[in-house]
């Protein structure tokens, strides 16, 4: 499945590359287009987050009212979701799409010759064999990246092979080589620039999300008829536990991403960095627009 989407994305990335003739710029434009395509989903997700925050108070009332009748409580909660036209699994779609993008684009930047240039695996294996027979080192994880680096040698070895020209991908971007893999080039400080910027952007994004959650919490007023102070504190502690869980989940994707970025070509980290920056601006704008809509209502 990931190979299928990587191939689809490969057509788009190749189209952009042929226009700008630079891998880094093509990735930036590619990221922007993906973000625009997912904008309706982002708007829906942002509105769902706002609506979910308001829904929590009603759920707390139901949980207290039917705390001794779990079956009735579940029925009332499902009825509430139905009345508010929300699904308890509304966040799952976003998580699935994020994972799909994560792995599909990893496949794409790992094998740009296969998915961008559409060179047959038989030809790729032939080039790899030629390099190995010459005593040149070829990575098992990223053989196509090594083929791109050895373009000039392979061109001399296969002067009449038209596919060779497809290996001539311009990976240089603002003084950085996007084909480099941090794990394999630890002595080169330049390989850390994009991952560090990605970490910073992830931290900013997480802080924004946490701030929005805290803001929603402060705006809420606990309305539980007949509840004692101890019971209210118990419910608030439950909400704090949920917020802590959400906070942990928000850290998991960046941590997983940076772990992969350390062992993947820098092109992948550039995609994540640009995606994060765009997401920050997207959240700021959508949050402002949705607040204005709520004010009008």
- Vertex 13: Cα angle to 200 and 148 (nearest 5): 90
pLDDT at 251: 58
- Vertex 297: Cα angle to 93 and 46 (nearest 5): 20
**Pick the residue with more confidence: 216 or 20?**
20
pLDDT tens profile 120-175 = 999 999 999 999 998 888 888 889 999 998 999 999 999 888 889 999 999 999 98
In angstroms, the CA 19 to CA 26 distance is 8
pLDDT at 268: 86
Contact 68, 58 (CB under 8 A): no
pLDDT at 10: 94
Please write down the long-range contacts of 144-151, taking CB distance under 8 Å and 24 or more positions apart.
144/110, 144/111, 144/112, 144/113, 144/114, 145/110, 145/112, 145/179, 145/181, 145/265, 147/113, 148/112, 148/113, 148/179, 149/179
Those residues with Cβ within 8 angstroms of residue 110's Cβ, 6 or more apart along the chain or in another chain: 141, 142, 144, 145, 264, 265, 268
Split at pLDDT 50, 70, 90, the class of 247 is low
What are the backbone dihedrals phi and psi of residue 160, each rounded to the nearest 5 degrees, phi first? -100, 5
pLDDT averaged over every residue in the chain: 79
Those residues with Cβ within 8 angstroms of residue 114's Cβ, 6 or more apart along the chain or in another chain: 10, 121, 124, 144
Those residues with Cβ within 8 angstroms of residue 262's Cβ, 6 or more apart along the chain or in another chain: 182, 183, 195
**Which residues on adjacent β-strands are paired with residue 176?**
173
Q: Which of 13, 10, 33, 32 is nearest to 21 (CA)?
A: 13
Q: Which of 79, 74, 127, 97 is nearest to 5 (CA)?
A: 97
Answer positive or negative: Cα dihedral of 59, 63, 65, 69.
positive
In angstroms, the CA 12 to CA 84 distance is 39
State yes or no: pLDDT of 115 exceeds 80: yes
Q: How is residue 246 written in tokens?
A: 């959400």
pLDDT tens profile 228-238 = 444 444 444 44
Split at pLDDT 50, 70, 90, the class of 239 is very low
Q: If you average pLDDT over residues 57-66, what whole number do you get?
A: 73
């Amino acid at each position: 499945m990931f190979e299928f989407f990587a191939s689809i994305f490969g057509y788009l990335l190749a189209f952009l590359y042929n226009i700008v003739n630079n891998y880094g710029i093509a990735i930036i434009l590619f990221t922007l287009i993906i973000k625009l395509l997912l904008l309706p989903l982002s708007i829906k997700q942002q509105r769902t987050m706002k609506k979910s925050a308001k829904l929590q108070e009603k759920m707390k009332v139901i949980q207290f009212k039917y705390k001794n009748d779990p079956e009735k409580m579940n029925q009332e909660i499902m009825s509430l979701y139905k009345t508010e036209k929300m699904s308890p699994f509304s966040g799952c779609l976003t998580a699935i799409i994020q994972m799909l993008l994560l792995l599909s684009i990893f496949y794409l930047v790992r094998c740009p010759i296969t998915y961008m240039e559409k060179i047959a695996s038989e030809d790729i294996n032939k080039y790899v064999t030629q390099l190995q027979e010459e005593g040149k080192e070829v990575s098992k994880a990223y053989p196509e990246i090594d083929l791109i680096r050895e373009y000039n040698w392979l061109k001399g070895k296969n002067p009449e092979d038209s596919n060779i020209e497809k290996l001539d991908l311009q990976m240089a971007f603002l003084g950085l080589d996007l084909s480099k893999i941090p794990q394999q080039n630890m002595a080169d400080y330049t390989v850390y620039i994009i991952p560090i910027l990605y970490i910073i952007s992830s931290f900013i994004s997480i802080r924004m999300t946490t701030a929005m959650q805290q803001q929603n919490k402060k705006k809420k007023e606990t309305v539980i008829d007949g509840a004692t102070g101890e019971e209210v504190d118990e419910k608030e502690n439950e909400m704090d536990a949920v917020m802590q869980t959400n906070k942990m989940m928000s850290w998991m994707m960046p941590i997983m991403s940076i772990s992969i970025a350390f062992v993947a070509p820098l092109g992948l980290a550039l995609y994540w960095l640009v995606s994060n920056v765009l997401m920050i601006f997207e959240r700021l704008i959508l949050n402002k627009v949705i607040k204005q809509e709520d004010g009008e209502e």
